[in-house]
Amino acid sequence: MAVTPPPVVLAARGLTRQYPGVRALDGVDLTLRAGEIHALLGENGAGKSTLINLLTGAQPRDGGTITMDGVEIDPDGPGGAVKAGIAAVYQEITLLPNLTVAQNLYLGREPTRWGLVHRSRMNQEGAALLRRFGLTIDASRPLSDFSTAVQQLIAIARAVDLSAKVLILDEPTASLDTAEVQTLFTLLRSLRDQGLAIVFVTHFLDQVYALTDRITVLRNGRLVGERRTADLPRLDLVAMMLGKTPTAESHLSRRPAAGIPAGAPLVRAEGLGRRRLVGAFDAELHAGAVLGAAGLLGSGRTETAMLLFGVETADQGQLVVDGKAVTLRSPRDAIRLGFGFCPEDRKLDGIVAGLSIRENIVLALQAKRGWWRRLSTAQQHELADRYIKLLDIRTPDAEKPIQLLSGGNQQKALLARWLATEPRLLILDEPTRGIDVGAHAEIVRLLENLRDRGMALYVISSEIEEVAAYSDRVLVMRDRAPAGLLEGDSITPAAIVNAIAADHHTRGAA
Amino acid sequence: MDMKTLLGSRKISRQGLARRMLGIGTAVLLGSLAAGCDSGDKKGLTVGFSQIGSESGWRAAETKLARQGAEQRGITLKFSDAQQRQENQIKAVRSFIAQGVDAILLAPVVSSGWDEVLGEAKAANIPVILLDRQIDTPNVDLYLTAVTSDTIEEGRVAGRWLAGKVQGRDCRIVEIQGTVGASLVANRKKGFEEAIATAPNLHLVRTQSGEFTRAKGKEVMEGFLKAEAPGSICAVYSHNDDMMIGAIQAIKEAGLKPGTDILTVSIDGVPDIFKAMADGDANATVELAPDMAPRAYDILLAYRKDHAPPPKWVQTPSKLYEPDTAAAEYARRKDLY
Amino acid sequence: MSAVTQRLKAARPQLALLAVALLVNVFVAPGFLDLRLQDGRLFGGLIDILNRGAPVMLLAVGMAPVIATRGIDLSVGVIMAISGAVAAAGVNAGLAWPVAILAALATGLVCGLWNGLLVAVFRLQPIVATLILMVAGRGIAQLITEGRILTFTEPHLIAVAGSTLAALPLPVVLALAAAGLTGLLVRATALGLFVEAVGTNPRSSRLAGVHTGLVLGAVYVWSGLMAALAGLIATADIKGADANNAGLWLELDAILAVVIGGTSLYGGRFSIGRSVLGALVLQAMRTAILRAGLPPELNLVLMALVVAAVLTQQSPAFRPVATRLMARLKNKEAQA
């Protein structure tokens, strides 16, 4: 059966966006066809958001062209993306909750009579518009009266009604329940059948396979490839996202410690979990061993760290430290037990920008000592200088504001913050994200060094080869629940990718 | 006193609900007592009083005298505290109209925006008497009369007293004004300047705002004492007693004797200034009489009897007190305020 | 570079401003800088500025850490009124003066605790949380004074503002001592670091183990205590508790003093010393305006102009120009 490919609606070629020091998007192509739902996939920092911002004109591009129906357009120029027929709906709904539904639908283009807003007509037309989207609601009520799901549908209705030919949905299902997701999918399929081109960004692979026709994968600002969904096995998709082919040989040799040390673990999580955050998982953390955690973005991998460090309090299972059950109500409880935590988002959760490198390094130790037992200025300098030297943090001196450091050096300073507390367990969430290659290797070596000196490490990473290289055990997370635990020789990048990609039918067997 | 609110100024004052309830309770009690006695007016007059609030001692005294005066005359007083808000006053007046009172007393918190509600009172044939402040309206028929002091006259009385006190001697005067921008302040300044203009030996050398408060009055006086050559200030005129009490402290702390080295004259007649006069620290105060409601009652009773409309403005006397009667006046006032 | 010279260097803009403000005073009233010792107490224009500026200095000392945590305390003026009312009502009810003073200070602590609870535990925005007390507090003070100015004659309470210690008026000694104690408390312990960390990035601070709730609560409690002390001074100064006017709008002066002192309203770095200098700059300008003999109608206009000029001078865009201007002015002062 010969299939004539549907006409191309939007073609982006060689899109490039440069940030200071980083090339966020590097010559990326995207082709959207009429009547298709196109998944745009990639891990954090892959460049999805930047690509969307270039298409909607939220940011100017530094290179590349965009054509709509064969005509070159300029989304950030006069006329803009909306006029060209590109509309976007974001995860955080950008409508105005205190206005009515109809006011939101017609904001900036209200029907008027004698120069005044024709309110009753606006409400009627709004209700009629929403009925076409399967929503029967009173459009004169304030938007905030409705659930997130309904607001999402209203946002889509507004976007499509703005004569959109291309509809971009950024994580539209993140805060919806299963039934709401189905409603949304029904709507999206009907929009597709009307000839719309839809870009669907998500981190739920099941939804990708349930809904989309075609997939574009980005990684580190580059295009990895475009495939038909039906032709791309799940395993290959995960491999594309993580940048590894499951069969390829790892260039990192496996250098784990002499296996899991005998004796009781330092920390044992038994069915630890929290409703709406992460399902019950087990984990054992031994001194001198690395537990790796792998999984895609949104798989629940970060959430395991939040429970282990008391950022969130578990509401099921138990945590045993030194053979005693403990409840962590705040990070301070965890720090008291000798835990440390380098979070994934360095800027938001890690560094205290504005304070000096010295102050950032001493912060955790000082907090552990309490406010009345201040480290003297001399002690602080000694500590900071020692770690700057030990970890080779590149800075002229310890008094520079920490935000002036490069990403890798900021990460080292955060490591220094925790090493200064002499922790027994160090939890690291994506310790090598956004760091240049040199610093990357240094940090991996440093982690191995710490393990060899008897520290327990819990390392969450989307760098599969790294995780495979230094972990003694690997916890694989998927859909906010554990999907498998790999041990010893079974730890290979391929096995990890397999565990991540396994669909519902094979999960039980893993 | 209450100049802060006279100005409709920024001083915010609030009254505890408890006290307000107590006030209403008292009014009801007094009303029933009066009804029981049934003296004076045959019928037992019912009067509604919409008061601004209780932001100062003077205001509290005005309220107290309104209650006492009503009791003495056998009038049932319905009292409402507006807590500095015009909308509360409008509500109160409407409720008085609905209750069918015989007359309404209104101490207006602001000067404009009364035409509609006063029109309603007029339509209901209920006379309204303004207390303490005038209102802006093109239609003076909306109210029966206004009982207020003559604020220019207050300044004149103070000035005349000072001119008489120093006789022909040269006298350099400093003035502590109230909050800038109020008509009251302009009037008290104008009256004083008028009175001393006739005496070439009196010179107003400095004027500064003390914002009607003790603390600012003290700070301003300290500044005057520093800025002027030692011993060169002969008298201080203050737009209210509170600022003068602050100024007296400043004079004392500068090592001078207020009332002797520097003459004082101020306006209001609050108890503390009488105490200062009795102690020899102050020379004179011009009283702003707080018995405005009783005067209004008498006007009302006379009007009901002979139906001759009173003049549109009834001025309360601006009486000047000196130390000779201060001790007695203090004793008379200290429980009133 | 020693710590002292480093601090002086950091305070250069504030010192320059103060120098300008004092210069204006000299211009308005020659002999302003003269100091004389009489009956064991110093007299002179500088002492007057310190003395009159003491309440706002105290408020600024309490306000600086609050603002450093990205907060604000709008209730300090009202806390002054309440604490003054408590002290006055206390001695008038026959309490011994130390008890009345302690009760007034305790009132400030309780008010601060209330603010701290709302901000740290109930997570209200500081501007809203402290607005509650700002609005309701004056009513509380009025209930205590029954709407009058509560005059008292207790000599020890009056002495809080009227006596002399080490040749200085007691309010000056109290304000400087409170500033010193606060400076010591934040810099000799780790509180200063925690305050700045919480104000800059509360999430990172919590993850690093800083007890953010405790830090937030503590700064409001301290601000309440400083305000209570300021209220005692203001009340003792006029020998009476004026619930309607005590501390009125002084919260704004305190905020301004802290801002002039170089603390950003977005939180982070703060300095007690520079905030005190900020308060003195304000008081020096106010004194100059009061003594200039200009029509009082100009008071607020002048103050507004001066404040606008000061804050413009601190804006990053204007700083190079201002620095040159200040340098020239200082030269002139040196020549004079």
> Does the pLDDT of residue B332 top 50, yes or no?
yes
First vs last Cα of chain B: how many Å apart? 10
- B320, B157 contact by CB (below 8 A): yes
> Which domains are present in chain A?
8-242 (3.40.50.300), 246-338+423-510 (3.40.50.300), 353-421 (no CATH)
Closest CA to A415 of A374, A459, A452, A454: A459
Longest dimension (CA), chain B: 66
The strand pair at B263-268 and B313-316 is best described as unpaired
Convert the pLDDT of each residue in C200-256 to its tens digit: 999 999 999 999 999 999 999 999 999 999 999 999 999 999 988 899 889 999 999
- Count CA atoms within 13 Å of residue A359 on its CB side: 27
pLDDT of A181:
83
Phi, psi of A313 (to 5 degrees): -95, 130
Angle between helices C12-28 and C319-335 (to 10 degrees): 50
pLDDT of A1:
47
Scanning the structure block, which residue is given the tokens 């709507």? A187
Of C240, C242, C299, the CB nearest to B209: C299
Neighbours of B64 (CB within 10 A): 17
Residue type, A391: L
Task: Express as a percent the part of chain B with pLDDT over 70.
Answer: 87
CA A402 – CA C196 distance, rounded (Å): 14
Convert the pLDDT of each residue in C249-259 to its tens digit: 899 999 999 99
pLDDT of C318:
66
Question: Under an 8 A CB cutoff, do C142 and B209 touch?
Answer: no
3-state secondary structure of B325: helix
Distance from CA of C188 to the nearest CA of A (A): 7
Total length of chain C: 336
CA dihedral C333, C334, C335, C336 (to 10 degrees): 50
The continuous run of DSSP H or E covering A155 comes out as: helix A148-161
Neighbours of B18 (CB within 10 A): 9
Convert the pLDDT of each residue in A50-87 to its tens digit: 899 888 888 888 888 999 888 888 877 666 787 888 88
Which of A317-331, B28-42, B144-158 comes out lowest in average pLDDT? B28-42
Interface of C with A in 264-293 (CB under 8 A): 268-269
Per DSSP, the residues of A263-305 read S--SEEEEEEEETTTEEEEEEEE-TT-EEEEE--TTSSHHHHH
Would you call A139 exposed, middle or buried from its count of C-beta atoms within 10 A (0-12, 13-18, 19+)? buried
> Does the pLDDT of residue A510 top 50, yes or no?
no
Of C52, C147, C242, the CB nearest to B214: C242
Per DSSP, the residues of C189-251 read SSHHHHHHHHHH-HHHHHHTT--HHHHHHHHHHHHHHHHHHHHHHHHHHTTEEETTTTTTTHH
- B127, B300 contact by CB (below 8 A): yes
Please list every residue in chain A whose beta carbon sits closer than 8 Å to the beta carbon of residue C203.
Answer: 348-349
When pLDDT is averaged across residues A311-320 and rounded to a whole number, the result is: 93
Convert the pLDDT of each residue in B41-78 to its tens digit: 446 889 999 998 877 778 888 999 999 999 999 999 99
Question: Under an 8 A CB cutoff, do B245 and C244 touch?
Answer: no
pLDDT of A502:
76
Would you call C156 exposed, middle or buried from its count of C-beta atoms within 10 A (0-12, 13-18, 19+)? middle
- C237, C213 contact by CB (below 8 A): no
Scanning the structure block, which residue is given the tokens 């955060």? A414
For the sheet containing A71-73, what is the strand order? Answer: A22-33, A8-19, A63-68, A71-73
Distance from CA of C235 to the nearest CA of B (A): 9
- C60, C47 contact by CB (below 8 A): no
Q: Chain C interface residues facing chain B, Cβ-Cβ under 8 Å?
A: 28-29, 45, 48, 52, 138-139, 142-143, 146-149, 151, 162, 234, 237-240, 242, 244-246, 248, 287, 290-291, 293, 295-297, 299-300
pLDDT of A355:
93
Convert the pLDDT of each residue in B169-189 to its tens digit: 999 999 999 988 778 899 999
pLDDT of A409:
86
Residues (pLDDT < 70) of chain C are 1-2, 313-314, 316-323, 325-326, 329-330, 332-336
Would you call C19 exposed, middle or buried from its count of C-beta atoms within 10 A (0-12, 13-18, 19+)? middle
pLDDT of C181:
97
> Does the pLDDT of residue B298 top 90, yes or no?
yes
Q: Where are the beta strands (DSSP E) in A298-358?
A: 316-321, 324-326, 339-342
Which of A260-264, A427-431, C156-160 comes out lowest in average pLDDT? A260-264
> What are the distances in angstroms from CA A138 to CA A108, A109, A124, A344, C331?
20, 20, 9, 43, 73
> Which domains are present in chain C?
41-291 (1.10.3470), 297-336 (no CATH)
> Does the pLDDT of residue A321 top 90, yes or no?
yes
Convert the pLDDT of each residue in A183-213 to its tens digit: 889 889 988 998 899 999 987 788 899 999 9
pLDDT of A21:
60
> Does the pLDDT of residue B1 top 70, yes or no?
no
CA A451 – CA A179 distance, rounded (Å): 46
Neighbours of B329 (CB within 10 A): 22
Per DSSP, the residues of C156-203 read HHHHHHH-EETTEEHHHHHHHHHHHHHHHHHHSSSHHHHHHHHHH-HH
Interface with chain A: mutation pick from C184, C204, C222, C270, highest number of A CBs within 10 Å: C204
Phi, psi of C151 (to 5 degrees): -85, 145
pLDDT of A253:
53
The continuous run of DSSP H or E covering A496 comes out as: helix A493-501
The one-character DSSP state at A488 is G
CA C102 – CA C87 distance, rounded (Å): 8
3-state secondary structure of B11: coil
Question: Under an 8 A CB cutoff, do C139 and B222 touch?
Answer: no
3-state secondary structure of A86: strand
Structure confidence at residue A419 as a pLDDT band (50, 70, 90): very high
CA B220 – CA B210 distance, rounded (Å): 6
Phi, psi of B2 (to 5 degrees): -105, 30
Chains in touch with A (3+ beta-carbon pairs under 8 Å) read C
3-class SS string, A393-416? CCCCCCCCEHHHCCHHHHHHHHHH
Provide CATH 3.40.50.2300 ranges for chain B.
3-143, 151-288+323-333
pLDDT of A258:
57
pLDDT of B22:
44
Task: Express as a percent the part of chain B with pLDDT over 90.
Answer: 66
The one-character DSSP state at A500 is H
CATH 3.60.40.10 fits B151-288+323-333, yes or no: no
Please list every residue in chain C whose beta carbon sits closer than 8 Å to the beta carbon of residue B11.
Answer: 244-245, 248
Q: Which two tokens mark A146?
A: 């409705």
Which of B210-219, B239-248, C9-18 comes out lowest in average pLDDT? C9-18
Of C52, C147, C295, the CB nearest to B57: C147
- Sign (positive/negative) of CA torsion B124, B130, B136, B139? positive
Which of A96-110, A281-295, B17-31, C145-159 comes out lowest in average pLDDT? B17-31
- B89, B116 contact by CB (below 8 A): no
Better-predicted residue by pLDDT, A26 or A148: A26
Longest dimension (CA), chain C: 59
Neighbours of B267 (CB within 10 A): 33
Distance, C-alpha B96 to centroid of its chain? 25
The one-character DSSP state at B63 is H
CA A339 – CA A418 distance, rounded (Å): 8
- Count CA atoms within 13 Å of residue C53 on its CB side: 27
Interface of B with C in 48-67 (CB under 8 A): 54-57, 59-60
**Does C210 reach chain A within 8 Å, measured CB to CB?**
yes
Closest CA to A98 of A146, A140, A151, A142: A142
Q: Where are the beta strands (DSSP E) in A324-371?
A: 324-326, 339-342
CA C83 – CA A297 distance, rounded (Å): 55
pLDDT of C335:
64
Which CATH number does B3-143 carry? 3.40.50.2300
pLDDT of B41:
45
